[in-house]
Amino acid sequence: MEFKNTLEFARSLDAKDALHAYRDEFIFPKVKGKQVIYFTGNSLGLQPKRTKAFVDEIMKDWADLAVEGHFYADKPWWDYHERLAAPLAKVVGAKTKEVSVMNTLTVNLHLLMVSFYRPTKKRYKILCEEKAFPSDQYMLHSQARFHGFDPDDAIVEVKKRKGEHFWRTEDILEKIEEVGDELALVLIGGVNYYNGQVMDMEAITKAGKAVGAYVGWDLAHGAGNVELKLHDWNADFAAWCSYKYMNSGPGNASGIYIHEQYLNKKDIPRFEGWWGTKKSERFLMKPNFEPMENADAWQVSNAPVLTMAPYLASLELFEEVGMEALMEKRDKIVAYLEFILKEVDAQVESSFEIITPKDRGCQLSVFLHGEGKELFNYLMENGVITDWREPNVIRLAPAPFYCSYEDMFRFGEILKKGILTK
């Protein structure tokens, strides 16, 4: 399609957008009395309007039923989490039994590493990407130390080539082969938080397993954003947060995936608690753990239903729309944003450099050469909610559920004015 940098053209795209009505399903903050242009769904998604009813339902049940809400609420609390598994499985490309919801992301990655980081004297190394998200770095370092290894030796980082802003798949595969039978675990962000790159998860998973390593994925920026086929790719495990593209609210419950080959096993290393024991025996208070036959066996504590309710509300939207439709709009609106950025770049003295490769999801990371944080502040003051990363990168994530093509046009106008009037 040949894009145009006009308000009329942007509105014509919105008029043809099958998802445009879903914009009204979300609550937008306002700046100077106007709805913001929201580019930070990769950090915290907007609140769906239907979320409040889901939370209020639990609050009412708590008030009316107290402890009996566990069994007699319309959505009983003791199995509330089970309602999330099937719609989530569609989002991440898994079987329903392979998916569960519990805890938060880094907590879940730690718990999953109990099962999937089982180092030996020879096979103990962990492969990750250079400058992984800090929480992942802290987690991996602490896991290595916990098992008695020096992180500088145990953790192998795949670096970007000099002068490049993205990873090359061939470099990752080469490093996996190089580490070989010393490699215990591959754990990488499936979509990089900084540059928005989507890794070749299928190829990397296949390579890691070929040398005898477990392969897991941090999908904080992947779930609800990009096509995932975790089961078909034969990934061992994955975890993701729910509050970015999945719009469940700040710090809310995390999802996990565990390949079916590890389910219904008593002998797998795992930290266990009573919510992971068989549902039929959970309240018999038996001394011995009998694992659930699905990913729920990794649950430790009872379901935090007040954090799961917003997630269930959002998943209802995903069920209505489907990932295919979301990704179709994602590709088009990100392409239009890229076009707008290049149009502005041609009209100002500053130079923009998009560091996100074509293997991307719903994010463009942009170097603002010749510009400082003053431009970011100008954008924020004028209703463009975006994200700043040092030294001079802004991350722009036009989430397809609620961002419009008109937003992209208006952003371009505000960006140009901010540069020209500084």
Q: Quick one: pLDDT at residue 370?
A: 75
Q: Quick one: pLDDT at residue 351?
A: 79
* CATH 3.90.1150.10 boundaries in the chain: 7-48+322-420
Q: What is the CATH number of domain 7-48+322-420?
A: 3.90.1150.10
Over the chain (422 residues), what is each successive 10-residue block's mean pLDDT? 96 98 98 97 98 98 98 96 98 98 97 98 97 95 98 98 96 98 98 97 98 98 98 98 97 97 94 94 91 96 96 98 98 98 90 93 92 89 94 94 98 94 75
For the chain, the three-class secondary structure string (H helix, E strand, C coil) is: CCCCCCHHHHHHHHHHCCCHHHHHHEECCEECCEECEECECCCCCCEECCHHHHHHHHHHHHHHHHHHHHHHCCCCHHHCCHHHHHHHHHHHCCCHHHEEEECCHHHHHHHHHHHHCCCCCCCCEEEEECCCCHHHHHHHHHHHHHCCCCHHHHEEEECCCCCCCCCCHHHHHHHHHHHHHHEEEEEEECECCCCCEECCHHHHHHHHHHCCCEEEEECCCCCCCCCCCHHHHCCCEEEECCCCCCCCCCCCCEEEEECHHHCCCCCCCCCCCHHHECHHHHHHCCCCCCECCCHHHHCCCCCCHHHHHHHHHHHHHHHHHCHHHHHHHHHHHHHHHHHHHHHHHCCCCCEEEECCCCCECCCEEEEEECCCHHHHHHHHHCCEECEEECCCEEEEECCCCCCCHHHHHHHHHHHHHHHHCC
Q: Quick one: pLDDT at residue 411?
A: 98
Q: Quick one: pLDDT at residue 421?
A: 83
* CATH 3.40.640.10 boundaries in the chain: 53-321
Q: Quick one: pLDDT at residue 420?
A: 86
Instruction: Look up the CATH architecture of domain 53-321.
Output: 3-Layer(aba) Sandwich (3.40)
